[in-house]
């Protein structure tokens, strides 16, 4: 009996290793997202950039984690009250004039219509680390109300409101990435599909916990430095220059971010294909060097045959469609690996130590 079992299990292991070889290589997903999303010039800039890249077909879709204060003009700020906060208080600027709000809504509607995703970055940009579910719920209710009532609150024309509803918002990134247990029960109760407030190794496939996909930012190598940072522009600012820009080293910092993103991409593309996560802000960190690096990165990788630069919602759709065995095979990289892609227009790598 023992012998029979042993040979049966040997036979099964042959079958399963053959099955593993039959798993097809998954696409390389790249998710590029922005936080806060206040500045109108930046809405214009990223709208133009997306139009440029998508001119001859679908190459890139962005996700925007928008703070709810953007839906409320400065004059009407007392309509908002954050959890345990004074009425009209926020950690970042309100939406400017009513006309600024109107223009911002128009940008968001156009991008949403073109297949980009609008998601939530809460409202007043408070640190929710100590918040229970009640506080998170209050903040999410404020977000929904500000979105739904943008016309009435800001005295806009009836057709100047949002072309989508709060039910279309299914993703979240916490301000300061500051999360608590109560956040996750709240997200699940309110029908959210994913959260992007955590961090994880750069080659980790996403996990679903408590019904919520965790699309965490990645711990990546800071090219040429032997140090690590998070795949987010603010973290580069801190790692490269202690949170303050240094104008004389702008070009060096731009190149280092580009090389870091490209190394992260190459490792995953030729490795287990774990999705790439990149988070930026509308703030003009490092005198625009990071925006240039991100554009160069997107131009180089988005549109390659096996690469899909998609919204987080699209990534959630893909993840929801995976059988558990398939995801397990992806985690292990149990599929024919790709060779290094040829990347156009990335120029000389300076001290990046690929
Ligand atoms: Zn933020």
pLDDT tens-digit map of 158-195: 999 999 999 999 999 999 999 999 999 999 999 999 99
pLDDT tens-digit map of 268-320: 999 999 999 999 999 999 999 999 999 999 999 999 999 999 999 999 999 99
Distance from the alpha carbon of residue 13 to the mean position of ligand 1, in angstroms: 48
Residue 53 domain-assigned?
A: no
Residue 323 domain-assigned?
A: yes
Distance from the alpha carbon of residue 313 to the mean position of ligand 1, in angstroms: 20
pLDDT for residue 346: 78
Residue 177 domain-assigned?
A: yes
Residue 164 domain-assigned?
A: yes
Shared-domain flag, residues 81 and 166 = yes
Distance from the alpha carbon of residue 121 to the mean position of ligand 1, in angstroms: 7
CA distance readout (Å), 297 to 134, 220, 253, 266: 40, 15, 14, 12
pLDDT tens-digit map of 206-235: 999 999 999 999 999 999 999 999 999 999
**Number of domains forming the structure of the chain:** 2
Distance from the alpha carbon of residue 106 to the mean position of ligand 1, in angstroms: 21
Distance from the alpha carbon of residue 241 to the mean position of ligand 1, in angstroms: 19
Shared-domain flag, residues 187 and 223 = no
Confidence of residue 13 (pLDDT cuts 50, 70, 90): very low
Residue 111 domain-assigned?
A: yes
Distance from the alpha carbon of residue 125 to the mean position of ligand 1, in angstroms: 6
Distance from the alpha carbon of residue 236 to the mean position of ligand 1, in angstroms: 15
Distance from the alpha carbon of residue 225 to the mean position of ligand 1, in angstroms: 27
Shared-domain flag, residues 156 and 225 = no
Shared-domain flag, residues 166 and 227 = no
Shared-domain flag, residues 96 and 144 = yes
Distance from the alpha carbon of residue 279 to the mean position of ligand 1, in angstroms: 10
For residues 251 and 296, give the distance between their C-alpha atoms in angstroms, rounded to a whole number.
13
Residue 8 domain-assigned?
A: no
Distance from the alpha carbon of residue 35 to the mean position of ligand 1, in angstroms: 5
Confidence of residue 109 (pLDDT cuts 50, 70, 90): very high
Distance from the alpha carbon of residue 17 to the mean position of ligand 1, in angstroms: 45
Shared-domain flag, residues 224 and 190 = no
Residue 228 domain-assigned?
A: yes
pLDDT tens-digit map of 46-73: 999 999 999 999 999 999 999 999 999 9
Distance from the alpha carbon of residue 21 to the mean position of ligand 1, in angstroms: 43
pLDDT for residue 228: 97
How large a percentage of the chain has pLDDT more than 90?
90
Distance from the alpha carbon of residue 280 to the mean position of ligand 1, in angstroms: 9
Confidence of residue 22 (pLDDT cuts 50, 70, 90): confident
Shared-domain flag, residues 257 and 312 = yes
Distance from the alpha carbon of residue 184 to the mean position of ligand 1, in angstroms: 18
Shared-domain flag, residues 223 and 192 = no
Least Cα distance to 28 among 318, 253, 244, 231 occurs for 318
Distance from the alpha carbon of residue 267 to the mean position of ligand 1, in angstroms: 28
For residues 140 and 164, give the distance between their C-alpha atoms in angstroms, rounded to a whole number.
17
Out of 197, 231, 266, a domain closes at: 197
CB distance 37 to 70 below 8 Å = yes
Shared-domain flag, residues 162 and 245 = no
For residues 136 and 8, give the distance between their C-alpha atoms in angstroms, rounded to a whole number.
53
Q: Which residues span the domain enclosing 69? A: 62-197
Shared-domain flag, residues 333 and 242 = yes
Distance from the alpha carbon of residue 94 to the mean position of ligand 1, in angstroms: 13
Distance from the alpha carbon of residue 100 to the mean position of ligand 1, in angstroms: 20
Distance from the alpha carbon of residue 71 to the mean position of ligand 1, in angstroms: 15
Residue 45 domain-assigned?
A: no
* 3-class secondary-structure state, position 43: helix
Q: Return the bridge partners of 200, or none.
A: 218
Angle at 126 between CA 260 and CA 198, to 5 degrees: 40
Shared-domain flag, residues 145 and 108 = yes
Distance from the alpha carbon of residue 141 to the mean position of ligand 1, in angstroms: 18
Residues with Cβ within 8 Å of 244's Cβ and at least 6 positions away in sequence, in order, are 237
Q: Return the bridge partners of 172, or none.
A: 120, 195
Out of 149, 166, 197, a domain closes at: 197
Shared-domain flag, residues 159 and 266 = no
For residues 118 and 111, give the distance between their C-alpha atoms in angstroms, rounded to a whole number.
9
């Amino acid at each position: 009996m023992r012998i029979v079992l042993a040979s049966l299990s040997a036979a099964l292991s042959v079958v399963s290793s053959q099955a593993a070889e039959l798993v097809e290589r998954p696409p390389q997903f790249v998710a590029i997202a922005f936080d806060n999303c206040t500045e109108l010039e930046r809405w214009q800039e990223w709208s133009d950039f997306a139009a440029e890249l998508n001119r001859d077909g679908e190459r890139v879709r962005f996700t925007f984690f928008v703070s709810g204060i953007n839906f409320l003009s400065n004059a009407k700020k007392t309509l908002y009250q954050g959890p345990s906060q004074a009425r009209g208080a926020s950690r970042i600027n309100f939406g400017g004039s009513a006309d600024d709000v109107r223009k911002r809504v128009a940008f968001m509607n156009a991008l949403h219509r073109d297949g980009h995703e609008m998601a939530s970055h809460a409202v007043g940009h408070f640190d929710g680390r100590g918040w229970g579910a009640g506080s998170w719920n209050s903040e999410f209710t404020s977000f929904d109300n500000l979105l739904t009532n943008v016309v009435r609150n800001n005295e806009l024309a009836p057709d100047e409101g949002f072309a989508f509803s709060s039910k279309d918002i299914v993703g979240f990134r916490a301000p300061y990435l500051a999360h608590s247990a109560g956040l996750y029960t709240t997200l699940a109760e309110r029908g959210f599909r994913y959260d992007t407030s955590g961090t994880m190794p750069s080659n980790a496939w996403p996990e679903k916990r408590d019904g919520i996909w965790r699309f965490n930012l990645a711990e990546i190598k800071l090219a040429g430095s032997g140090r690590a940072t998070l795949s987010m522009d603010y973290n580069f600012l801190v790692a490269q220059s202690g949170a303050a820009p240094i104008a004389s080293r702008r070009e060096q910092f731009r190149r280092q971010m580009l090389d870091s993103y490209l190394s992260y991409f190459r490792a995953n593309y030729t490795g287990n294909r774990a999705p790439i996560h990149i988070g930026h802000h509308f703030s003009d960190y490092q005198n625009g060097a990071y925006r240039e690096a991100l554009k160069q990165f997107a131009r180089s990788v988005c549109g390659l045959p096996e690469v899909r630069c998609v919204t987080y919602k699209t990534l959630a759709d893909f993840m929801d469609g995976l059988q558990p065995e398939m995801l397990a095979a992806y985690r292990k990289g149990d599929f024919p690996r790709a060779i290094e892609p040829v990347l156009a227009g990335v120029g000389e790598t300076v001290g990046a130590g690929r």
